[in-house]
A = this chain, B = another copy of it.
Amino acid sequence: MPEQEPPPAAPKPRRRQARGERRAAQLLDAAAVVFSRVGYTAASTNAIAREAEVSPGTLYQFFPNKEAIAVELGNRLLEQWRESYGQALSAANLDLPLAELLDAVVDPLLEFNAQNPAFHVLMHGPDAPGQVTAAFEAFHSVVLHRIEEILATYLPEAPKAETTRVTTTTLALFKAGLDLIAAHPDEREEYQEELKKVLFRYLDPMLCEEPPAPGAAAQQPEA
A→B interface (CB under 8 Å): 39, 41-42, 125-127, 165-166, 168-169, 172-173, 175-177, 179-180, 184, 187, 190-191, 194-195, 197-198, 201-202, 205, 215-217, 219-220, 222-223
Q: Which of B173, B190, B222 contacts A173 (CB 8 A)?
A: B173
Beyond A215-B215, A216-B217, A220-B223, 6 additional contacts (C-beta under 8 Å) are A41-B42, A165-B194, A168-B184, A169-B194, A172-B179, A201-B201
Please indicate the chain B residues that have their CB under 8 angstroms from the CB of A169 in the complex. Answer: 180, 191, 194-195, 198
Please indicate the chain B residues that have their CB under 8 angstroms from the CB of A216 in the complex. Answer: 215-217, 219
Contact A39:B127 (CB < 8 A) given known A179-B175, A187-B165, A191-B169: yes
Q: Which of B190, B219, B223 contacts A165 (CB 8 A)?
A: B190
The docked-state distance in angstroms from the alpha carbon of A190 to that of B166 is 10
Q: Which of B165, B219, B223 contacts A191 (CB 8 A)?
A: B165
Q: How far is the CB of A143 from chain B (nearest CB, A)?
A: 15
Residue pairs across A and B with Cβ atoms less than 8 A apart, 20 shown, are: A39-B126, A41-B41, A41-B42, A42-B127, A125-B126, A165-B187, A165-B190, A165-B191, A169-B180, A169-B195, A173-B173, A176-B176, A197-B202, A201-B202, A201-B205, A202-B202, A216-B217, A216-B219, A219-B220, A222-B223
